[in-house]
Amino acid sequence: MLQILLVDDERSVVETLAETIPWESCGIGTVHEALSGKLALEIMENHDIDIVISDIRMPEISGIALITEIHKRWPHVQTILLSGHADFEYAKQAMAQESFDYLLKPVSDEDLIESVQRLVSRIQMKWETAASYQRALNAFQDNLPLLQSTMLQELLTGKTYDQKTLTDKLELLELPYTIGEDLAMLIIRMEEHFSEMGNSDIALMEYAICNIINEVVQDHFHIWHTRDVHDYIVVLVSVKDSSKLFSNKHETPQTMLEHYAAQIQTNVQAYLKGAISISVSHWGEFPNEIGEIYERAVISMRKRMGQVQGLFVTASDEKDVPSLYTIRSLYKPPTLISLLEAGRFQDAELKIEQIFEDLLHSNEYHDIAESTIEVYYALAGAFTYIIHKNGKQLSSILPAESYRYFQAPSYSTTKQLMDWSIRTLHYIRDDAEQELKDNHSTIVRSVQSFVDLHLASDVSLPAIADHVHLHPVYLSKVYKSETGEALTAYVYRLRMEKAAYYLRTSTAKIFEISELVGYNNTAYFIRVFKKFYDVTPQEYRESLPV
């Protein structure tokens, strides 16, 4: 939805337009108001305004001067000018400044709505043009290395795709890998002065190291690289053409890759003046075994690393690394903590169900007891973290039965542990929803109190939002979701209801009632009152029983 700014030195004009025009049906999501050109420019600097509707004759900065400045500083912003003077000179100036439309005051709702709708259509067409295939393709190419790196990170951490999606994604990202082919990995740790560099310098060294790798292996291997959560460079390797790979029958992909890895280590030391450790993995099938290959290679390097630098670890050195079943879903992104922080409770429940499915599956490979302990502490840690992060104690959220599990876990089966995990998640979810509801209710009460007290002065959306310390767009959404009524509609309705009350209970003149409910222009007040009640204020008063 677009944002519009209404500018007029008469408060009643901008407030009437803000309240009576059905902006949402015109494609406008947020309405801003300014009583001067200076204030309008300040709003422009702090908000992403799409359309400005401005009066021409204003003190200090005229409407013509305002749109001239706007088009200079924000050329994408569209403008509509209003004027009470049917003077062709104004129209010529408006056209010279490329204003979209020029309307005479008092403008009818129908004319203004029609003009805004045409303008919104023009803006949407521009967006569609900006999102053209060629522009998207250029942006895609610019970000291709990052997209390739991100996909490899996802595969390393357990993300899976169906066969068609994976094939399409590999083709889209220009990656020469096929499902079922053999692959290996190089795990590289940057050492010596590399580790002391800042992030930008590290990224540059990573780029340089990957260039060296490509130069060394490009005749025989495809490479696909990323940097993992441990700051290791991970390089996926596959054979380009096995029929042309070997110079003698005793050479294998493994021996050649180990030979190249040693050469890479030497070249990095010679050209970049820094040491690296390299782990050369065993070979496996793409993509099903990519996670296992990665984990074994990382573990192999860590077991031998200590304080030693410049290590060279090969697959033959991995024999002492045990092959144990791991609960991958427990650590696969998005993690349970990430889902809880984002308030994605339904996804968190699905995550827990997947964890226990993997846990039961692990029973086919080894004793489930240790894996159950691992799952319990991971879940209990995640629940404790999110409750404490929300500023609460476990005992204030959980009933005694669930709280006891944190003091002394008392499950005897995985089913009991799973049931406890789901119940605990529900308690956390219910507390978060209640807190959000209470907070929103407090915001609504504060807004309504402010509007009631300041009805005769400034109750514009920016003023109300400033009072409750929220962004106007967010405030509008909160108010609408809690009450079912738009905030501007509430202000308009309250003004009309108060005006009717004064007409029924007082002898105040129409212009006095107009000012009491925030309209300095009596003619505008009569117009909006009639639009609300279908009668003028005087007719309303005369229809009252004596």
- Separation of alpha carbons 265 and 476, rounded Å: 59
- Residue limits of CATH 3.30.70.270 in the chain: 147-320
Superfamily per CATH, domain 147-320: Reverse transcriptase/Diguanylate cyclase domain (3.30.70.270)
Q: For position 245, what pLDDT does the model report?
A: 55
Q: For position 249, what pLDDT does the model report?
A: 62
DSSP result, 47-76:
S---EEEEES--SSS-HHHHHHHHHHH-TT
What pLDDT, in 10s, does the model give residues 268-318?
988 888 888 899 998 999 998 998 888 888 877 777 655 556 788 886 665
What pLDDT, in 10s, does the model give residues 363-377?
655 567 788 888 999
What pLDDT, in 10s, does the model give residues 454-468?
998 888 888 898 999
What pLDDT, in 10s, does the model give residues 136-194?
777 778 889 999 999 999 898 888 888 999 999 999 999 999 999 999 999 998 886 67
Name the CA dihedral angle for 477, 483, 485, 491, rounded to a multiple of 10 degrees: -90
- Residue limits of CATH 3.40.50.2300 in the chain: 2-131
Environment class of residue 16 by beta-carbon count within 10 Å: exposed (0-12), middle (13-18) or buried (19+)?
buried
436 against 195, higher pLDDT: 436
- Separation of alpha carbons 5 and 150, rounded Å: 40
- Separation of alpha carbons 486 and 363, rounded Å: 56
Domain 454-542 has CATH 1.10.10.60: yes
Taking all residues of the chain, what is their mean pLDDT, rounded to a whole number? Answer: 86
CB 330 within 8 A of CB 374: yes
- Separation of alpha carbons 281 and 491, rounded Å: 68
The fold for domain 2-131 equals Rossmann fold (3.40.50)
Query: Does the N-terminal peptide bond of residue 287 adopt cis geometry, omega within 30 degrees of 0?
Result: yes
- Separation of alpha carbons 52 and 142, rounded Å: 35
CB 278 within 8 A of CB 209: no
Q: For position 116, what pLDDT does the model report?
A: 92
Of the ranges 49-53, 106-110, 400-404, 512-516, which one carries the lowest mean pLDDT score?
A: 106-110
Most confident by average pLDDT, 328-337, 355-364, 492-501: 492-501
Most confident by average pLDDT, 58-62, 248-252, 538-542: 538-542
Give the chain's length: 546
504 pLDDT more than 60: yes
Q: For position 182, what pLDDT does the model report?
A: 93
- Please report which confidence band the pLDDT of residue 321 belongs to, taking 50, 70 and 90 as the band edges: very low
- Residue limits of CATH 1.10.10.60 in the chain: 454-542
- What mean pLDDT do residues 25-39 have? 91
